[in-house]
Amino acid sequence: MIMGSIDPATLRGSWSYPTQVRFGPGRIREMARACGSLGMTKPLLVTDPVLAALPMVQAGLDANAKSDMPTGLFTQVQGNPVGRNVMDGVAAYRDGGHDGVIAFGGGSAIDAAKCIALMAGQTRPLFDFEDSGSNWKRVDPAGVAPVVAVPTTAGTGSEVGRASVIIDEDTATKKIIFHPTMMPGVVIADPELTLGLPSHVTAATGMDALAHCIEALCAPGFHPMADGIALEGMRLVHDWLPAAHADGSILAARAHMLVAASMGATAFQKGLGAVHSISHPAGAMYGVHHGLANAVLLPYVLKFNRPAIEDRMTRLARLLGLNDPGFDAVMAWILELRETLGIPHSFAEAGVPEDDADTLAEAAAKDPTAPGNPVPVDAAALKGIFLDCVRGNL
Ligand SMILES: [Fe+2]
């Protein structure tokens, strides 16, 4: 651990990759200027009801008002957001005469907010834009509102992503909505906003960041840039997640986890795999937290993928400084990390039953992340991984 030597004030920078990122403690004060830089004059801040009750949201609204950036508030976003949350937000956006969106919160709020911005000027229904084939070409780009993203958790990385995950209530399935213009124009990544995260949320969201990095690294295809970002993202998780979990007030740990989360989502432009293929329907069917589901699933998927990922796990283990670098060393590290963070070992312990394994496996096989798994998977293979995970058979 190296935190003693780091002054959090130096963990600051402005980057143009993969979008404009303003990173560092206190940078939330730039929110009004960031809105102005994207041409907004009257944005709508989209968040969830829990965050809306915290002082940071009111402080942001007040600061914007003082900076001549009057800002509306929409808070009706649930965890694992549904299509209705998006369309209610679109109605609020249009009724209020807004001209941009501030996506403020964790993955659910940011995903919903990005879709509200996408849908602000569309005529077709939301799920016409599901990430499949060339559906994204149906979007009228002129109807997409600008977005400033302000993450308050360190996991999803949705602030630097071009997609959102929204539940289609008609089919009770999670759908990925994708368009290149969904990438927020400015990200304000201020680690001070994550200081109050409860330890179990720190754990689950941090494991989501890890799952993004490791699935991106393992996804097939030639993408050395994504591989490099994924590896460094995992080094940051290795070095800083236990500290962020043990003592949420350590700003350096919060800062490194916040950047690791953005790196995971940057890297997974390369692809994700069976962890996400299974956790998406598990979230839709049982409401299990996305990061928690990924954390429980990860070792079972790695075991399944072992024949295809030995080399990459050796590279990862070397970078992390693990003893006897190889697949077993990475697996041991992940199991130890899960235990340190209080993550359950099985889906059964997390409240996910095996009753609907066939339905879940069919949905997992259709998830757009499934082709990114390094060992090809069909519904039967995904069912096997799922059942092992429910029963704790590792
Ligand atoms: Fe994820």
Residue 261 CA to ligand 1 centre (angstroms): 10
Residue 291 CA to ligand 1 centre (angstroms): 6
Question: CA torsion 3→1→247→205, rounded to 10°?
Answer: 100
Residue 268 CA to ligand 1 centre (angstroms): 9
Q: Is the same domain home to 248 and 296? A: yes
Radius of gyration of the chain (CA): 20
Say which residue the tokens 């680690």 belong to.
191
Residue 276 CA to ligand 1 centre (angstroms): 6
Q: Is the same domain home to 378 and 249? A: yes
Q: How confident is the model at residue 3 (pLDDT cuts 50, 70, 90)?
A: low
Q: Is the model's pLDDT at 2 over the cut of 90?
A: no
* CATH number of the domain enclosing 110: 3.40.50.1970
Q: Is the same domain home to 256 and 364? A: yes
Residue 107 CA to ligand 1 centre (angstroms): 9
Residue 162 CA to ligand 1 centre (angstroms): 13
pLDDT score recorded for residue 6: 86
Residue where a domain stops, chosen among 169, 192, 215? 192
Residue 97 CA to ligand 1 centre (angstroms): 33
Residue 285 CA to ligand 1 centre (angstroms): 16
- Mapped onto helix, strand or coil, the DSSP state of residue 363 is helix
Residue 60 CA to ligand 1 centre (angstroms): 27
Task: Please state the pTM of the whole predicted model.
Answer: 0.95
Q: Is the model's pLDDT at 1 over the cut of 70?
A: no
Read off the pLDDT of each residue in 108-134 and give the average, rounded to a whole number: 96
Looking at the structure of the chain, the number of domains it has is 2
Residue 156 CA to ligand 1 centre (angstroms): 6
Residue 64 CA to ligand 1 centre (angstroms): 31
Bridge-based pairing state of the strands 72-74 and 147-151: unpaired
Q: Is the same domain home to 158 and 58? A: yes
Q: Is the same domain home to 170 and 91? A: yes
Cβ-count burial of 102 within 10 angstroms (0-12 exposed, 13-18 middle, 19+ buried)?
buried
Q: How confident is the model at residue 315 (pLDDT cuts 50, 70, 90)?
A: very high
Domain that holds residue 229: 197-391
* CATH number of the domain enclosing 386: 1.20.1090.10
Sequence letter at residue 288: V
190-220: string of b/e by CB count within 10 Å (b at 16+)?
A: bbbbbbebeeebbbbbbbbbbbbbbbbbbbe
Q: Within 13 Å, how many C-alpha atoms sit on residue 365's CB side?
A: 15
Residue 213 CA to ligand 1 centre (angstroms): 10
CA–CA separation, 190 and 138 (whole Å): 35
Residue 274 CA to ligand 1 centre (angstroms): 11
Q: How confident is the model at residue 5 (pLDDT cuts 50, 70, 90)?
A: confident
Q: Is the same domain home to 184 and 242? A: no
Residue 293 CA to ligand 1 centre (angstroms): 9
Residue where a domain stops, chosen among 192, 211, 230? 192
pLDDT score recorded for residue 20: 98
Residue 112 CA to ligand 1 centre (angstroms): 15
Residue where a domain stops, chosen among 163, 192, 221? 192
CA–CA separation, 34 and 73 (whole Å): 17
Q: Is the same domain home to 293 and 371? A: yes
Residue 210 CA to ligand 1 centre (angstroms): 9
Calculate the average pLDDT of the chain: 96
Q: Is the same domain home to 248 and 174? A: no
- The predicted-structure confidence for 373-384, as pLDDT tens digits, reads as follows 999 999 999 999
Residue 143 CA to ligand 1 centre (angstroms): 27
Sequence letter at residue 278: I
What is the side-by-side strand order in the sheet with 101-105?
13-15, 20-23, 186-189, 147-151, 101-105, 44-46, 72-74
Q: Is the same domain home to 29 and 177? A: yes
Sequence letter at residue 137: K
Residue 239 CA to ligand 1 centre (angstroms): 20
Q: Is the same domain home to 17 and 90? A: yes
Element (H, E) at 103: strand 101-105
Question: CA torsion 295→162→280→254, rounded to 10°?
Answer: 20
Q: Is the same domain home to 32 and 128? A: yes
Residue 279 CA to ligand 1 centre (angstroms): 8
Bridge-based pairing state of the strands 163-168 and 173-178: antiparallel
- The predicted-structure confidence for 158-207, as pLDDT tens digits, reads as follows 999 999 999 999 998 989 999 999 999 999 999 999 999 999 999 999 99
Residue 212 CA to ligand 1 centre (angstroms): 6
Residue 209 CA to ligand 1 centre (angstroms): 7
Residue 20 CA to ligand 1 centre (angstroms): 22
Q: Is the same domain home to 39 and 188? A: yes
- The predicted-structure confidence for 28-72, as pLDDT tens digits, reads as follows 999 999 999 999 999 999 999 999 999 999 999 999 999 999 999
Residue 269 CA to ligand 1 centre (angstroms): 12
Q: Is the model's pLDDT at 4 over the cut of 70?
A: no
